[in-house]
Structure formats: structure tokens, C-alpha cells
Structure 1
């Protein structure tokens, strides 16, 4: 009996020692330099959540405020893009098609022309032009019926509009997703001032849109950093007029990207403008409808594959493309219980994370882009997802989609005069009350870490420099014996 008790006492002691050793290998405090950076910006320590996990080498992980659900801003795009890589596949593509419901004889389509959107996140003007050239090459010249837009691919959610700073709601990064998204619905206006007059041009051309140029040409002078040129869309009996006002010195120019049209008007206007340039005509009206079952497929265009799409999303933090991707996941995994494709995507992503051994208890996804006040995730959940991605067969594709520090994307201007140039792939996130980074970074020993730092505060001014300090501190790991041998 005494021997048995001794063995139990020794076993318990060994267990306590093991637990103590394990705890000693986890850091639960912020690096001193990060604490100092927070203090310098008058921000409390609990505003920041930080998780740093060693993926190679002997490093000690850090967990600080790791299990607090926070708004991650655009770092949520990493969840959407990695989930899409695995749930839809790296070679997944989207398709856009033209159909006809009548006979084609001698270049004349005696029926309606249908443009069916497949949710392509990157259907730009060049690819639409090529698709319509293909339509022309297949013998279509004149359409006697209507131009019908099929926008039924997604079951669209009814989400509240989001405008973080209350500015112009027509800015391109606020464009909502659509089954037939063309050129991200963006218009580029260029104003060029010559002596006595100002020229206004628009790209791409949109059928039914005219320009009312009221910009005053000033005498030649210094070109302003913020030119006084304003745009106001005014509906007309047939189409729209863009009223352009302001002042511009001779020899100066101003360029603006805006998205004032709805998806239907933009798509129909772009199609008609291109078709006219190609020598074609459409006699009927523009309307929305579904492709009939008996309709004949005329031509089809395929998007770039998933790998290129997620690169555009993560490198440049493209909100609209991320939302298209999120809805694409939902459409693929939609079932009878889902009200819309956003709800289906959220369910599918949570189930996917659970299968990977990640507890998604804090995960809240509204649109998958981070452009939201309701989306949430903990730093631990994000870091565990990055760790899983490191071991994924698609790790290379996923990591390469993120901005390279001091080199490209949203990180191109940060940490330029540090040893971190090109040493980390980091996705950024920014809202009025959020600053965040998430991705993979190497230290001076050449070992790789997963790093997640999310700061939520009413006044996060200057907080990007705090997050940069996280990366600098991580890079300065103690020199290892392995490094010395190298």
C-alpha cells in the first residue's frame, strides 16, 4: 500500500513538473518594445491581441489576449481565401456565357441575347471584349430581341450597407457583389485642362451615359495635390448624365475612380458600348431574366483560376472580389436550410475549420471581406488557421497571395528600412477602429513564424507602427547555434 502511494505521489510530481515545463515554454506577455509602443500611443495593453507561433525552429510561442473575439478588418480575407482554396480547389474557375433563344441566320439573331453571369470575380473589360469578339466571330451581328441579363447565379444576402468613414458611397472599394459583376463596376474619369477648356473622358465607355462638362479651366499654375473636380450622376429620360464641376489649372489633370451605377445598368451599358464598337447592334431593350432551358449556348469565357483570384484579393485587399469568393463558397455548399449564399458560406467555413481541428467558437462572418462591423475572430483561431495552412498542400499558393513586406500590395510602403524587406508575407487590416496584421514572417535565423496581431480601439491612431514593431521584435530572435553553423 505504501509503495503504491509512493508511486502515485511520484507520478503526480512528474505530471506537475511536466505541466510547469510546458507552461514555461509559452510566453503570455507582450514584448517590451511592443508595450513601449502601445504606451507611446496612449493605448492600453488589452486593446491588442497577439499570437506568434513557431512553424520551424525551436522558438517559444506567444499568446496574449488570444481568446478575445475581435474585429479583424481585412485580415478576415485570409479565412475566406484559404477556405476557398480547400473547399473549391486551386484550379476552380468561373464562367460567363452568351445564349440565344431564337434562330441565327445571316448574322441576324431573331430572338433575345442572354448574358449569364457565373459570379466571376475578375470579369474585366478586356475579357468581356474578348468574349464579345468571340460572339461576333460566331456569326452574330444584329440582335432583333432584347439584351437579357441573367443574375441568378447567387442567392444574394440582404446585408446593411457599410461605409466606415461616411464619405462618398460610390467609391469602388464599397461595390457589392453580384452574379454578373463586370469590371468591379468601376468608372475612371480623366479631366485634362488645356488653355481655355477642360477635356473629360470616361473609361470604359458606357452606352446611354453622357458627360455634362462644367469644369472651369484656370490659367496655368501649380497643379493641386487634390484637384477640385466633382462628379454627380443625374438620371435622364434615356440614360444618365454625369455632371462634372470644379476648376482645374491649364496643363493639369485629375483622375477619379467611382462606381455610381447599379450592376444592371453598368453591365448593359458596357455590353452595348463594346458591341457597337464591334459593328453590332441590339434592337431591343435591356432587362433582367433567366436563361430559358431551350436556349442555345453561343460562347463562353472562363475566369483565371483560384490561385490568381486569391492573389488579387490578398495583395490588394479587394473587398468586392472577396465577397464574390465568399458567395461562391456558399453557392457550392448551399442546402435547404440556408437563407442565402452568405449564410451557406459561413456554415461551410465553420464546418471546414472544425474538421481541421480548429474551434471556431469566436468566428463570425458576414461577407468574408472584413468590411463589416459584425465580423469577429480571435487571434488564436486565426493563428491556428495559419498553422494549418502551413501544412496544407496549397501552402505555397496561399502564402504567395499575401503582400511581401516593403515590396508589394498593402505592405509595399511599410518597414522599408529594416531587415524585414521581403522576409514576411503579411495581410493587413484597417477600419476606423481596427488595425491588424496576419501572415507568415521569418526571423534572423531563417525560421518561419505564424503571426497575428489585432488591435481594436476607438482611437487606434498610429497603431500600424505598433504592429510593425511586432514584426521587428519577432525578427530579432536570439541567434541560434544552427544559424552560426550556416
Structure 2
């Protein structure tokens, strides 16, 4: 054991030097205020791993419990999105295409219609509508053959199901990635009480989703009525029993993920095509596009920089997993087996080229929605330090939530001097609270911060992490720190 620990002890001594090319003071203990915050929340100091690192000005770095393997929750998205920026490029786009193996004559497509997914994380209903509008503009009205879905772009890993609280499995944030991900597979249910009559609708209007409206209209103007949505699987589709009560002039809405990817994608295509006045005579099936098929229409996603903004600002798990698999699909070799393993390999190689040693890094799906994923706060801080020097630093930093202003940080520290001073990614699981990103101190200097709490009961621990950010901000005032442009 002593022999096996020796490399780790040496690494612990040497790694602090990786933070800076010159000697700098390093704190190895927590501040009194952070200690008190931990005590107030009945958490041990050992539950917290922390690195606070000055990037462009003076200051003493804090390195505490930094070489422990911890679950980072959604701060893992920073590893995935920064790697994607440099490995795929900030202007990378995904494509979605329609093909046919038939001939078009007088508005009739005599053959099958193939929809080929390219892993687009942001293929929403509007984009799909525009793509299908192109089909109509090209003269297609009636399709005599089948609707064929090509979901072969990703080689999917076989990963364990994740449900943090063991509750509703239909939550949209639990949607798994897919080569043909449409609208994040979300169904939006809306109940409205207009003049004592309750109506319930669903978007998109997929034919296999039927609504059993049992909501009672009440005369009360209080819009706190309890409306419940209970899906019931049936042989020919899904029935959603909507019950409860709703006050006059009120509405209630919820998002559910009830269908598998092929059923949702095909249902969305048919719903839009029907609205556009078209028909598809055949059935739905899954198959790769034949090499002889002819391209009918193509749509491109927004650039990668826009996609990572959605991922980091709003901590979108499904989009992060799509991005992770996209990295794998781009660099996959036969030896990898699947796109998750390919992404893991490529990201490790990329980090090594940057001089970032990562013995603790474990990436399962790249989103942090995992019990297996691991990192150390030192590794995360070194990654942030590298990102600060990247040509895509501005794009990466701006993808994170602004403290007290937007995303998952919009309600935190909004009444403090830190409002708008930091770009911080948050992470939350039942046993994890985490932050990582960039924040400025009172002198206008920027710091990299990684703080992760792993504990069976981390409730209220967000206040501890907020105190970490306040500690960074409250640096001693520097003489002459307001220099003017000559």
C-alpha cells in the first residue's frame, strides 16, 4: 500500500505547481466563514473539495481536499462542452435530412420517405416544420410508401438507467440521447378553464397520445388548483388521464416524456405533414438510408456555440449527452466499440496534450447525470485554467450562467455585489452540490473556482458554495488597481 500511495503523494506535491509558472501563495485550509457555513449545515469539512485559483492578477490560491475523487454532478458538462469547442470547433453543426428511394410525379412520391438523424441536440418542432415545409415547396404532397427512420448515426453505449429519486420516470430531464432526437422528446400538456369549460391539449398533437379529460371546473379565481397528469399505457398508444380541478380563467401545464424516440419522431413528422396538407400512406419503420437514395431536403442545427449555451445555462442533460456522443461519433474507431468509449478516449487524449493529468476523471455520459462520473476539483480547476487561455475562452465562459441573473444561478447571490460578476455552472444530485466556473474579485481580477460537496445529506449546502464565491470576491483592495488607459 505504501508503494502504491507514493505516486499519489508525489503528485499531490507537484500538481500545485501546475497552476502557475511562478511561485505563488497557496492556502490549504478553509476560510472561517466557509467553516461556519459547513457547521451550520451540519456537514463535515471533509465533505468539501475546493480550488480557488487567480488567473490574471494577484491572490492566494486555495487548494483544499483537491485530490479526492468526487461526483461532480452537472459541472461535468464543463468538461464536455469545452472539449467539444476545441475538438469539434465552435462553428460545428449537425444535419438532419430527408431522402427517398422513389420518384416524384405530380405531387406524388412513389416510394419511401427516409428521415436520417445526425444527432442534432436542438432539432425542435420549428426546425422540423421548416424542413418539412421544404418538402412541400419541392412539390411533395402524397407519399405512397413508408416513413423510415434512420437512427444509425450514433453507436449507443449500454448504460444503466438513472433516476436520482426513484420517482416519475417520465421527467423530461431523464430523456436519453438518440441519433434522431426530436424536440427533446417532450410533450407539453396544457389545461385551460375558459368560462367554466376545461379543455386539455397536447403539443405536438401526436396521434398515439389520447387525452382523457376529467378535470373539474370550479368558480374560484384562485389559480392554485391541483391538476394531475397520469399516463396509462395501452395496446395501441398512450392514454393520459388528466384529473383534478381548475379555477375560472386559469391554466395548468406540464411537460412529460411518454414515448420512445421512434414513436415520438414518427408521430411528430406525421402531425406536421398532416397540418401541411400531406399524407403518408405506409407504416413507420426503422432502417438505414440506402446508398442509392436521393436527397430531398436538409436542415442544419445552430452552431455549437449556441448549443453549449443551452447546455450550460440551463443544465440540459439530454443535449449534453448528445454532444458527448457526437464527439465520439466524430472520432470513433473500430477499437472503441461505441461512441461513449470513443468520446472518453478522445477527451482524455486532448486533456493530456494540454498537460492536464486526470487520474480521477471518469466520464460515463458527459452530463453529470450519473452515479459513476468522477473528477477532482484540481482537475476541474486545471481545465478551467486551460480554457481561460483558449482562443474560444469567450464562447466557453459566456455559455455559463451569470451569477444572480440567468440560468441555474439566476436566484443565487442576486442581492450581493457578486451579481453579474461570475459565470458559474452548478451541479445538483441527491448527494451532490457543486459549482465550477469563473468569477471576479472586488479588484476586477478573474478566478477559476471549483467547489464540490459530496455527502449523503447535502441539503442547504448551496449556501456553503455561495460563501466560497463571496470569499473570492472579498479580496484585499489593491493600491492603484484602477489604472487608466494612457
TM-score strictly above 0.5: yes
Rounded Cα–Cα distance in structure 2 between residues aligned with 1:256 and 1:337: 43
What residue number does 2:268 align with? Answer: 270
- What's the secondary structure of 2:394's corresponding residue? helix
Does the 8 Å CA contact 2:401/2:424 hold for their aligned counterparts? yes
Residue 168 (structure 1) shift: 0.8
Rounded Cα–Cα distance in structure 2 between residues aligned with 1:158 and 1:227: 38
Residue 222 (structure 1) shift: 2.4
What residue number does 2:421 align with? Answer: 423
**1:163 equivalent in alignment to 2:163:** yes
What residue number does 2:42 align with? Answer: 42
- What's the secondary structure of 2:464's corresponding residue? helix
TM-score normalized by structure 1? 0.93
Which has the larger Rg?
A: 1
Residue 262 (structure 1) shift: 0.6
Does the 8 Å CA contact 1:195/1:220 hold for their aligned counterparts? no
More off after superposition, 208-217 vs 366-375: 208-217
Rounded Cα–Cα distance in structure 1 between residues aligned with 2:380 and 2:397: 14
Does the 8 Å CA contact 1:424/1:441 hold for their aligned counterparts? yes
Rounded Cα–Cα distance in structure 1 between residues aligned with 2:246 and 2:211: 17
What residue number does 2:105 align with? Answer: 105
What residue number does 1:9 align with? Answer: none
What residue number does 1:412 align with? Answer: 410
- What's the secondary structure of 1:483's corresponding residue? coil
Map 1:14-413 onto structure 2 (within 5 A).
25-224=25-224, 227-237=226-236, 239-413=237-411
TM-score normalized by structure 2? 0.93
- What's the secondary structure of 2:255's corresponding residue? strand
Residue 248 (structure 1) shift: 2.4
RMSD: 1.5
Does the 8 Å CA contact 1:229/1:248 hold for their aligned counterparts? no
- What's the secondary structure of 1:477's corresponding residue? coil
Rounded Cα–Cα distance in structure 2 between residues aligned with 1:399 and 1:411: 14
Residue 219 (structure 1) shift: 3.3
Rounded Cα–Cα distance in structure 1 between residues aligned with 2:29 and 2:435: 18
What residue number does 1:3 align with? Answer: none
More off after superposition, 74-83 vs 251-260: 251-260
Rounded Cα–Cα distance in structure 2 between residues aligned with 1:268 and 1:350: 37
The C-alpha deviation readout for 1:103-146, integer Å capped at 9, x for no partner, is 11111111100000000000000000000000110111100000
Rounded Cα–Cα distance in structure 1 between residues aligned with 2:162 and 2:395: 30
The C-alpha deviation readout for 1:347-398, integer Å capped at 9, x for no partner, is 1111111111001110000000000001000000000000000000000000
Residue 23 (structure 1) shift: 8.0
1:282–1:484 Cα change, 3 Å: closer
- What's the secondary structure of 1:331's corresponding residue? helix
The C-alpha deviation readout for 1:9-36, integer Å capped at 9, x for no partner, is xxxxxxxxx9xxx887111011111111
Residue 336 (structure 1) shift: 1.4
What residue number does 2:5 align with? Answer: none
Structure 1 stretches of 4+ with a deviation exceeding 4 A read none
Rounded Cα–Cα distance in structure 1 between residues aligned with 2:213 and 2:253: 15
Rounded Cα–Cα distance in structure 2 between residues aligned with 1:138 and 1:208: 29
The C-alpha deviation readout for 1:183-212, integer Å capped at 9, x for no partner, is 000011011124553200111221332222
Does the 8 Å CA contact 2:24/2:60 hold for their aligned counterparts? no
Does the 8 Å CA contact 1:429/1:437 hold for their aligned counterparts? yes
- What's the secondary structure of 2:27's corresponding residue? coil
Does the 8 Å CA contact 2:422/2:440 hold for their aligned counterparts? yes
Does the 8 Å CA contact 2:313/2:425 hold for their aligned counterparts? yes
Residue 59 (structure 1) shift: 1.1
Rounded Cα–Cα distance in structure 2 between residues aligned with 1:484 and 1:121: 44
Rounded Cα–Cα distance in structure 2 between residues aligned with 1:156 and 1:77: 19
- What's the secondary structure of 2:456's corresponding residue? coil
The C-alpha deviation readout for 1:207-254, integer Å capped at 9, x for no partner, is 332222122223325222x723223133243x4332222222333221
Does the 8 Å CA contact 1:230/1:246 hold for their aligned counterparts? no
The C-alpha deviation readout for 1:311-333, integer Å capped at 9, x for no partner, is 00000000000000000001011
Rounded Cα–Cα distance in structure 2 between residues aligned with 1:41 and 1:74: 22
Residue 337 (structure 1) shift: 1.3
Rounded Cα–Cα distance in structure 2 between residues aligned with 1:188 and 1:390: 39
- Say how many residue pairs are matched: 464
Does the 8 Å CA contact 2:229/2:240 hold for their aligned counterparts? no
Q: Which runs of 5 or more residues in structure 1 are unaligned?
A: 1-17
- What's the secondary structure of 2:402's corresponding residue? coil
Rounded Cα–Cα distance in structure 2 between residues aligned with 1:336 and 1:126: 36
